[in-house]
């Protein structure tokens, strides 16, 4: 059975059995209580968590098969924080069979992601699409007697009522939660057709208001896990000129930090940012290309895949960068015009063709 057909069939069966619909369906008020509309035991997670393991949940943005091993990159969704913005995963083909780019995946792995290029997945589980199951919202009201939280979406500004039970995993002190707090809810992906829509919360945590910064490390102070790291942006990149972050025992590092390393930092937005992860990258001259746009070509009618032909600012050489739905644009691709100056963060590898071609990870306006 094809994966897409299976999802449609499952959705139809659930809708018929439970009287629910996916978010975005036409709103219609249902009779009865929330308890009869949504049975928590039907939507609770049933997989037992492997002992002595850690969990990461994210969208597959890259996928490679090498014999009996499948390697893929997971990127966490907005509002979540699993210790690193993305991780490399390896799993036996029998364990990761059927996963595709764009799937929302949950893995458990045994060893720490600290100082490792790839983690070995103990379990690999495909989840409901992140656009349906990952919710970021601001608390409007809490009814602790009925165990409900009314939220206003950060992306949609519409209200949704979530019910929590004894089976809901809480990663915060629920008693301290107040209206105005921002939270992240992982849920079943199913909603009632009532107004407002209602759903079951599987996990509730504080909204992770994080930021990414890439720059060259110019200073390191401190000993052990607790250190202060100062970074300065590369020429042309669209970041603040510099940032100072603090590391701790929970900081993910993919190597030993040294002055001169070019690194990507995931940190909070406080006045003294804490670094959740620092990943050493290729030198900026290998992965940052400052250029002028020559031509834009759409390879799909919706514009989510295409290519940019550019001319390097420093050498005048022509290159072609391909982009897809997982390329980050700080401004929409539709707004780009020939003559625009850009800074392209890429994989650091290119074809031997003329002109060379590469894959863009992030495209932003050139910042002098």
**1-208 falls under which CATH superfamily?**
Nucleic acid-binding proteins (2.40.50.140)
Q: What's the confidence (pLDDT) of residue 340? A: 97
Contact yes or no for 113/146 (Cβ under 8 A):
no
51 pLDDT higher than 80: no
Ranges 21-35, 36-50, 272-286, 296-310: which has the least confidence: 21-35
Q: How confident is the model at residue 114 (pLDDT cuts 50, 70, 90)?
A: low
pLDDT at position 21 over 80: no
pLDDT of residue 339: 97
**Average pLDDT in the chain:** 85
Q: Is the pLDDT of residue 66 over 90?
A: no
Is the backbone of residue 166 left (phi > 0), alpha (psi -120 to 50) or beta? alpha
The residue to which tokens 């206003």 are assigned: 152
| For range 329-337, the mean pLDDT | 90
pLDDT at res. 111: 66
**Distance of alpha carbon 273 from its chain centroid, rounded?**
20
Question: For residues 21 and 356, which has the higher predicted lDDT (pLDDT)?
Answer: 356
Three-class DSSP category at 365: strand
Q: Is the pLDDT of residue 15 over 60?
A: no
pTM for the predicted model, two decimal places:
0.73
Q: Report helix, strand or coil for 169.
A: strand
Q: What's the average model confidence in pLDDT over 174-200?
A: 95
What would the pLDDT profile of 280-317 be if each residue is shown by its tens digit? 999 999 999 999 999 999 988 777 899 999 999 999 99
Homologous superfamily in CATH for domain 210-281: Nucleic acid-binding proteins (2.40.50.140)
Residue closest to 253 by CA, chosen among 109, 116, 49, 106: 116
pLDDT of 187-196, one tens digit each? 999 999 999 9
pLDDT score for 240: 96
Q: Sheet containing 242-246: which strands, arranged edge to edge?
A: 242-246, 226-232, 210-223, 262-268, 275-280, 252-253
Tokens of 228: 């202060």
Tell me the mean pLDDT in the region 142-157. Answer: 95
| DSSP state string for 246-313 | E--TT-EESS---TT-EEEEEEE-SSSPBEEEEEE---HHHHEEEEEEEEEEESSTTSSSEEEEEEET
CA distance 273 to 277: 12
Place of tokens 């000993």: 223
- Return the minimum-mean-pLDDT range out of 1-10, 156-165, 226-235, 353-362: 1-10
Range(s) of the chain covered by CATH 2.40.50.140? 1-208, 210-281, 285-365
pLDDT of residue 299: 86
Q: Which CATH number fits domain 285-365: 3.40.50.620, 3.40.50.2300, 3.30.1360.200, 2.40.50.140?
A: 2.40.50.140
Residue 337 burial class via C-beta count within 10 angstroms: exposed 0-12, middle 13-18, buried 19 and up: exposed
**Contact 291/342 with Cβ under 8 angstroms?**
yes
For residue 40, what pLDDT band results from cuts at 50, 70 and 90?
Answer: very low
Average pLDDT over residues 251-260: 90
- 20 — pLDDT class (breaks 50, 70, 90): very low
The token duo for 179 is 């209206």
């Amino acid at each position: 059975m094809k994966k897409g057909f299976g999802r449609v069939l499952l959705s139809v069966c659930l809708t018929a059995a439970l009287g629910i619909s996916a978010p975005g369906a036409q709103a219609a008020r249902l009779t009865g209580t929330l308890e009869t509309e949504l049975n928590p035991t039907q939507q609770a997670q049933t997989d037992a968590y492997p002992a002595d393991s850690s969990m990461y949940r994210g969208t597959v943005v890259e996928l490679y098969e090498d014999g009996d091993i499948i390697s893929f990159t997971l990127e966490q969704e907005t509002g979540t924080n699993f210790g690193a913005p993305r991780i490399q995963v390896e799993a036996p083909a029998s364990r990761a069979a059927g996963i595709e780019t764009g799937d929302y995946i949950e893995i458990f792995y045994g060893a720490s992601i600290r100082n490792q290029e790839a983690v070995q997945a103990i379990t690999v589980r495909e989840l409901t699409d992140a656009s349906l199951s990952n919710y970021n919202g601001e608390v409007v009201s809490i009814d602790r007697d009925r165990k409900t939280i009314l939220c206003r979406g950060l992306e949609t500004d519409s209200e949704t009522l979530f019910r929590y039970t004894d089976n809901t995993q809480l990663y915060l002190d629920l008693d301290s939660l107040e209206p105005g707090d921002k939270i992240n809810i992982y849920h079943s992906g199913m909603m009632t057709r009532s107004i407002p829509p209602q759903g079951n919360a599987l996990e509730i945590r504080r909204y992770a208001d994080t930021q990414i910064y890439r720059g060259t490390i110019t200073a390191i102070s401190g000993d052990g896990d607790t250190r202060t790291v100062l970074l300065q942006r590369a020429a042309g990149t669209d970041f603040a000129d510099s940032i100072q972050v603090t590391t701790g025992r929970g900081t993910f590092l993919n190597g030993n930090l040294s002055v001169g390393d070019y690194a990507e930092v995931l940190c909070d937005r406080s006045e003294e940012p804490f670094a959740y992860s620092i990943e050493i990258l290729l030198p900026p001259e290998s992965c940052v290309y400052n250029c002028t746009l020559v031509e834009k070509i759409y390879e799909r009618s919706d514009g989510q895949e295409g290519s940019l032909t550019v001319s390097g600012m420093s050498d005048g050489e022509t290159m072609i960068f391909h982009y897809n739905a997982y390329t980050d644009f700080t401004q929409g691709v539709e707004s780009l015009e020939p003559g625009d100056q850009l800074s392209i963060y890429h994989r650091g590898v290119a074809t031997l063709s003329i002109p060379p071609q590469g894959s863009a990870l992030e495209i932003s306006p050139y910042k002098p």
